[in-house]
Amino acid sequence: MRELSGAPARRENHHGRRVLVRALLLDYAERRPRLVDSPEPPEGEVRLRILECGTCGTDRDLATFAFGTAPAGESQLILGHEAVAEVAASSVSHLQAGTLVVPAVRRACPGPCASCAAGRRDLCLTGAYQERGIFGLHGYCAEWAVDRAEDLFAVPATLAEVAVLVEPMSVVEKACDTAVRLHPGQPAHLLVLGAGAVGMLAAWAGLRRGWLVTVVSREPEDAPRARLLRSAGVIYRTTLPAKEADVILEACGAADLAAAALGCLRPLGVLVVLGARNAAVQLPFLDLIVGNRTITGSVNAGPEHFRQAIATLAALEPAWLRPMIERRPLHRALESLAAAPGDAIKVVHALH
Ligand code: BGC
């Protein structure tokens, strides 16, 4: 495997067929991320020309080797699970070459368990699932990839510019569905903790559901993302509001803020934890009991959530979505992994 350092490698054989693909990967032997020319993927049901790939907190955590695994028998993992691709070749009739697609992240556990067998790998019962670009399977931050058709969601070409938000939006849609399912009444007020990409998408998803939305985050009130949220009708605050939330979506990674926000939940309210890490926090069990309040976790997304995410993005104002995305050339990917994105809400790398 050849490190990229300027002069491009010979990437096509004498038939004009590509033999190397540019990829961002984690090298578990050297314990560092690398941008390399790596062998092209094997044949598969659908061959994908990857257009772009988003970077998120999970990728940055993976790059610290806090978790994640390379495919069995390999010492490298191609990163990337927020992908947009074009079908280059397909052996299934319903997926034509040229179709824009977003892949699912998770693959079934061996067995598979009842959830995975029913297509809800996001609800895997064994924990032995695999995730592209995270656990045991190569991801999509490479020029080419292969997949099975059942793992791909077709996206209308009109959404090309924002399709990289489908995967994180699918996580948000699942979290909203979970909250609605667990709330025994009619939730009307959403409180979002954090104004990163997931927090912003949660705010947009809440607006689409007709909810009153408040976002609490640490960015100052005049930060561009705070202004963007306010321009859409979201209430933006840097401190927790009064007891007025029916649903809280935690998208800030901070357990202490999540625990403190329980004080904002109205009776019957539901807190969905998406990113908080383990921490010693005090939980108000008595409030949970007497107010029929619920705390739950949510991860990944099912096929229906991907379809909902596509529908939601199609229904939203492009002016809310476009400013979230900062596109960078692939050669900046190592820099993007090393540092939090600063003012950029979602950093995306172009592969083609
Ligand atoms: C992804 C999910 C994935 C989770 C845990 C998130 O960044 O969006 O699809 O299940 O990481 O690996």
pLDDT value for 1: 58
Residue 105 CA to ligand 1 center (angstroms) comes to: 7
pLDDT value for 16: 57
Ligand 1 site: residues with CB under 6 angstroms? 56, 58, 81, 105-106, 131, 134, 167, 171, 299-300
Q: Does 8 have pLDDT greater than 50?
A: no
Q: Is residue 269 included in any domain, yes or no? A: yes
Q: Does 141 have pLDDT greater than 80?
A: yes
Same domain, 93 and 187: no
Domain range for residue 177?
Answer: 168-297
pLDDT value for 7: 40
Same domain, 269 and 226: yes
The closest-lying atom of ligand 1 relative to the alpha carbon of residue 58 is 7
- Rounded percentage of the chain residues whose pLDDT exceeds 90: 91
Task: Tell me the H-state helices in the chain.
Answer: 57-62, 114-117, 166-182, 197-208, 224-231, 255-261, 285-290, 303-315, 318-321, 333-338
CATH of the domain at 255: 3.40.50.720
238 closest CA partner among 224, 248, 226: 226
pLDDT band at 5 (very low <50, low <70, confident <90, very high): very low
Q: Does 17 have pLDDT greater than 80?
A: no
pLDDT tens-digit readout, 216-244 = 999 999 999 999 999 999 999 999 999 99
Same domain, 55 and 195: no
Number of domains in the chain: 2
Return mean pLDDT, the chain: 95
Same domain, 286 and 332: no
pLDDT band at 208 (very low <50, low <70, confident <90, very high): very high
Q: Is residue 131 included in any domain, yes or no? A: yes
At 158, is the secondary structure helix, strand, or coil? Answer: helix
CA distance 19 to 206: 45
Same domain, 139 and 191: no
Same domain, 200 and 241: yes
Q: Is residue 312 included in any domain, yes or no? A: no
> pTM (2 decimals)?
0.95
Same domain, 208 and 271: yes
pLDDT tens-digit readout, 39-54 = 888 889 999 999 999 9
Q: What is the mean pLDDT of residues 306-311?
A: 98
Question: Which of 106, 120, 134 for a ligand 1 pocket mutation test, highest count of atoms within 8 Å of Cβ?
Answer: 134
Strand order in the sheet with 76-78: 2-3, 32-39, 20-27, 76-78
Same domain, 220 and 84: no
Of residues 61 and 12, more confidence is placed in 61
Q: Does 14 have pLDDT greater than 70?
A: no
Same domain, 208 and 268: yes
pLDDT value for 40: 87
Same domain, 60 and 128: yes
Q: Does 143 have pLDDT greater than 60?
A: yes
Cβ atoms of 4 and 22 closer than 8 Å: yes
pLDDT band at 4 (very low <50, low <70, confident <90, very high): low
Q: What is the mean pLDDT of residues 236-254?
A: 97
Q: What is the mean pLDDT of residues 195-206?
A: 98
pLDDT value for 12: 57
CATH of the domain at 106: 3.90.180.10
pLDDT value for 15: 53
209 closest CA partner among 307, 121, 315: 315
